Structure 1
Amino acid sequence: MNIEKLRKAVQGTVWTRESADYQSVRSGLLWNGRKPDRFPEIVVRAMTTADVQAAVSFAAESGRRVVVRGGGHHFSAIALQDCLVIDLGGMNGLQVDPQARIAQAQPAVTNGMLATALSEHGLAFPTGHCASVPLSGYLLGGGIGWNAGAWGIACHNVQSVEVVLADGSRVVASETDNPDVFWAARGAGPEFFGVVTQYRLRLHDLPRAIRTSVWTYPISQVNRVEQWMSRTMQVVPRNVEFTAVFSSAPPPLAGQATKTISAIATVFAATEDEAQATLAQVAAGAPQDALDIQQSLETPLEVLYLMIGQFFPEGRRYAADTNWTADPARQMEIMAKAVVAAPSAESFAIGVVLPPPDGARMPQAAFSMVGPAFGCTYAVWGDARQDSANLAWMRTTSEKIAPISLGHYIGEADLDLDERLAGSFSREAFERLQHLQRTYDPSGLFHRLRSDMELLEKVG
């Protein structure tokens, strides 16, 4: 099949490096303003599963490699490679069955789109914290979403997937059908050996009283805030999210502090009484002398998305790295000191203390790396001349956390570093994933990060 036959075979659009609008298409593959010097040979904007099959078959026949682009949101720019890019951005179909409490969603459906559509039926899903991120990369990476303490990791709420494999075939995978493919689709991230073209999702009741309280302190109070958060998460219900945000002081507080730590407690409650009782339980342990306190704000998901969105303005240059740890005190102390010294005032970090384990065994899936606490450092800047300084700041922060790190979350890990890949899985899961890659994609059609045994040796 030549390029003209490929164009005729798909409903979507095919671009090559000779296309008049190639540069704008290439740039649009990434949300991040920081775009590496990589130039896809061909970009296929797929509109249907058949388009994906045609693109995969074309690549296999012509000896090209394939990378899959969902929304281009990963901070490591993995959607932009020197190969054939299958862009799923046009596949955003969504069907909701409120009686069965099931949704069928294509990969370009965003977290915000899904949350809005489900809310009309009084339903919800553990969608990701950023509204513009599509389900494709979010669910493939596992998905740490809203109310995960009660609803679980997002990929564990996936019932089945439709997948195009390296041989161009279409399969449906679930716990009973093609279970190896299903296992990998729930957490393999960019190492998945196929293209997911549809998800079947299990839904939950939409909490009727989502309420948030925010306490903001000088960043020097990090130890007191962490102690309060860790104590609180041992006793509150699992429907509480408690996050510390380390950042430049919000404008109303800029005259009182340069850098602050904001403790944000959100409860996903069924009733107003439940929400108020839980937030009162959280507030009872709050350190004194906060710079600002906002109590019991009404925060439906659309408001929560606006709160998160202010930290990620479009057009900026971004880099990020994550760590799971059993030592939230040390991790938060390191991140607080890092934010104080950040070369960009827009950079920030978050620290999350998770609910204690509930005794249930985590479902079998490629997503296999978790810990009692989670942290992510975000470098955010605007000037390309500051790339080196901001990347060095982010990576130095992770180096300081490394002695207490249990591993990483592949959805936001610094995948430009080799060891981040293997460190995003348990050793057993990583070995199984490599075996399945060799089984389902023996020729290496799909672009992969370094995933050899040498990486396993690095993580022990």
Structure 2
Amino acid sequence: MNIEKLKAAVKGAVIPVFDPSFKASTEALLWNGRKQSAQPQLIVKASCIPDVIATVRFAAEAGLRVSPRGGGHNFSGIAQQDGIVLDLGALNRIWIDRSARIAEVGPAATNADLASALEAQGLAFPVGHCASVPMSGYLLGGGFGWNSGSWGYGFSNVESIDVVLADGVLRRVSETEHAEIFWAARGAGPEFFGVVVGYRLRLKPLPRAITTVVRVYPLTAVKGVVAWMKAAMDVVPNFVEFTAAMQSAPGSDGSAKVLLAIATVFADDPAEASAIHGRIAALAPEGAFDVQPEMPTPIGVLYEIIGQFFPVGHRYAVDSAWSADGAEDYVAGLAEGIAAAPSAQSFALATVLSPSRPTPPDAAFSMFGPVWGCVYTIWEKPEDDAENLAWLRRTTDGVASSVLGHYVGEADLERPERRNACHAPAALEKLRAMQKRYDPQGIFLRAVPAATPAKGAQAA
């Protein structure tokens, strides 16, 4: 392996395993404090698209796998394999054509950066719910983001994608150019057989009255709250996002649990937003501990609120699912798990989507439903890994009968069956066939990495 040849070919940094900065660079690859056991042989910090092309061609010659990394904000460590980690962090360009309502963005442009740049132009996009997640993993996984009930999933608003495949050739793919690759890049997640280096996005007008009302209920009221959420979503516009958050009561040590019913309206007029909140309130069940008044929540504020639930440096595991029939039982199962969570920081979400939400186009993103739920397991000490992972899997296995499939962006990908269930069977079969055709050497084959076990802990 001629590393000097690669160094001469790229403008960015090439960090081999014997480099003094290698250990620190590897530690910084993943946002999750729970690191993975797989160790790369090289880290390439691309400074431009030609660096990406050179790295892919080098990997093909050397027989190494390539793990593209946008921001390392994944829970399973799928961006850290045992070959070359291709760090795309410098490819974070955002260019906006306001009149055409088009943006061109790099893979490392984050949700927060894009939302802020668009807000300044009076525009919007269904960016993801977590501010620091970049477009790379978010849109490759499909993009279940803000106001998806009205705007559609993120991938539904992608006009074209620039990709570098295993042959080291840069292609722009769309519905009319390399349509099959375009199909795959919209939702394949870790099954994708290339590196995305740019997106061209269709934008939306920015709603001028984004407001939120929060009602706090005892966790035991979960079935009644979910029934109310479903009834409310039947009578309000599809630009309402309604989520139940099941968590420890604020200020408690985890012994007290509550359910927050969070209704966010993406309206264009304050009076309209207030009227919609009134319709939701008219159906609300009795027994709320607290009702917070309607408050303005532009996307930047929503990010500030959500960011409080994801402390940097903590250890994370996650699983998510789509549900349909029996949604009350599904969410009640999540609530039952939260009541027994070993960590007070762990929480679960359940979002009821509008029945009039847009139908997504045909793409690799092929698993979805009217109710989405997610369990976030958060803890601090390595010695607690096994207990928290076991709890997560007991909780999610306990609701399996109500599950249609999983969302690849927040699925427990350390379990192979989860990864397979992130796509409809026919879509997964098509993706696997395309992998063999476009990446016969398996350069982009992403094995499911194992987390580094805590000292003395048993595998969950």
Which TM-score tier does this pair reach, normalised by the shorter chain? Answer: over 0.9
The whole-number CA distance in structure 1 between the counterparts of 2:254 and 2:11 is: 57
**What are the Cα deviations for residues 49-81 of structure 1, in whole angstroms up to 9, with x where unaligned?**
100000000000011111111111111111111
The whole-number CA distance in structure 2 between the counterparts of 1:33 and 1:259 is: 25
Tell me what 2:436 maps to.
438
Pairing 1:280–2:289 present: no
The whole-number CA distance in structure 1 between the counterparts of 2:54 and 2:429 is: 30
The whole-number CA distance in structure 1 between the counterparts of 2:36 and 2:441 is: 26
**What are the Cα deviations for residues 405-432 of structure 1, in whole angstroms up to 9, with x where unaligned?**
1000000000111111221111111111
1:416-431 → structure 2 map (5 Å cutoff): 416-431=414-429
Q: Which moved more, 1:197-206 or 1:218-227?
A: 218-227
1:28-107 → structure 2 map (5 Å cutoff): 28-107=28-107
Displacement of 1:255 in angstroms is 10
The whole-number CA distance in structure 2 between the counterparts of 1:243 and 1:196 is: 31
The whole-number CA distance in structure 2 between the counterparts of 1:255 and 1:412 is: 26
Residue identity matched to 1:432: K
Pairing 1:407–2:405 present: yes
Displacement of 1:395 in angstroms is 0.5
The whole-number CA distance in structure 1 between the counterparts of 2:250 and 2:430 is: 46
**TM-score under structure 2 length normalisation:** 0.95
SS at match of 1:434: helix
Tell me what 2:377 maps to.
379
The whole-number CA distance in structure 1 between the counterparts of 2:62 and 2:126 is: 40
Pairing 1:308–2:294 present: no
Tell me what 2:249 maps to.
249
**What are the Cα deviations for residues 327-369 of structure 1, in whole angstroms up to 9, with x where unaligned?**
22011111111111000000000011111145x6430110010
Q: 1:297 aligns with which of 288, 295, 298?
A: 295
Displacement of 1:190 in angstroms is 1.0
Q: What count of residue pairs does the alignment treat as equivalent?
A: 447
The whole-number CA distance in structure 2 between the counterparts of 1:325 and 1:66 is: 34
Counterpart contact for 2:248–2:254, Cα < 8 Å: no
Counterpart contact for 1:352–1:375, Cα < 8 Å: yes
SS at match of 2:91: coil
The whole-number CA distance in structure 2 between the counterparts of 1:184 and 1:388 is: 35
Counterpart contact for 1:212–1:266, Cα < 8 Å: yes
Tell me what 1:201 maps to.
201
Counterpart contact for 1:421–1:449, Cα < 8 Å: no
The runs of 5 or more residues in structure 2 that have no matched partner are: 449-460
Tell me what 1:189 maps to.
189
SS at match of 1:411: helix
1:3-402 → structure 2 map (5 Å cutoff): 3-251=3-251, 254=252, 258-326=256-324, 327-357=326-356, 361-402=359-400
Displacement of 1:38 in angstroms is 1.7
Q: Which moved more, 1:140-149 or 1:217-226?
A: 217-226
SS at match of 1:244: strand
Counterpart contact for 1:160–1:200, Cα < 8 Å: yes
The whole-number CA distance in structure 1 between the counterparts of 2:70 and 2:424 is: 25
Residues 114 and 399 of structure 1, relative CA distance in 2, 3 Å threshold: same
The whole-number CA distance in structure 2 between the counterparts of 1:256 and 1:375 is: 21
Displacement of 1:274 in angstroms is 1.0
Counterpart contact for 1:162–1:199, Cα < 8 Å: yes
Displacement of 1:447 in angstroms is 2.5
The whole-number CA distance in structure 2 between the counterparts of 1:125 and 1:179 is: 23
Tell me what 2:455 maps to.
none
The whole-number CA distance in structure 2 between the counterparts of 1:190 and 1:257 is: 38
Displacement of 1:256 in angstroms is 12
SS at match of 1:339: helix
The whole-number CA distance in structure 2 between the counterparts of 1:216 and 1:416 is: 34
Counterpart contact for 2:216–2:259, Cα < 8 Å: yes
Displacement of 1:257 in angstroms is 7.7
Displacement of 1:150 in angstroms is 0.5
Tell me what 2:454 maps to.
none
Displacement of 1:267 in angstroms is 0.4
The whole-number CA distance in structure 2 between the counterparts of 1:422 and 1:65 is: 21
Residue identity matched to 1:384: P
The whole-number CA distance in structure 1 between the counterparts of 2:255 and 2:48 is: 52
Counterpart contact for 2:208–2:269, Cα < 8 Å: yes
Residues 214 and 257 of structure 1, relative CA distance in 2, 3 Å threshold: farther
SS at match of 1:314: coil
Counterpart contact for 2:106–2:198, Cα < 8 Å: yes
Displacement of 1:23 in angstroms is 1.0
The whole-number CA distance in structure 1 between the counterparts of 2:168 and 2:98 is: 33
Counterpart contact for 2:81–2:447, Cα < 8 Å: no
**What are the Cα deviations for residues 15-41 of structure 1, in whole angstroms up to 9, with x where unaligned?**
011011111100111000000222110
Counterpart contact for 1:160–1:172, Cα < 8 Å: yes
Residue identity matched to 1:323: A
Tell me what 2:451 maps to.
none
The whole-number CA distance in structure 1 between the counterparts of 2:198 and 2:336 is: 43
Residue identity matched to 1:245: A
Displacement of 1:287 in angstroms is 1.6
Tell me what 1:455 maps to.
none
Tell me what 1:458 maps to.
none
Counterpart contact for 1:346–1:381, Cα < 8 Å: yes
The whole-number CA distance in structure 2 between the counterparts of 1:255 and 1:140 is: 37
Counterpart contact for 2:126–2:147, Cα < 8 Å: yes
The whole-number CA distance in structure 1 between the counterparts of 2:209 and 2:253 is: 34
The whole-number CA distance in structure 2 between the counterparts of 1:449 and 1:274 is: 49
SS at match of 1:416: coil
SS at match of 2:182: helix
The whole-number CA distance in structure 2 between the counterparts of 1:416 and 1:41 is: 22
The whole-number CA distance in structure 2 between the counterparts of 1:184 and 1:412 is: 19
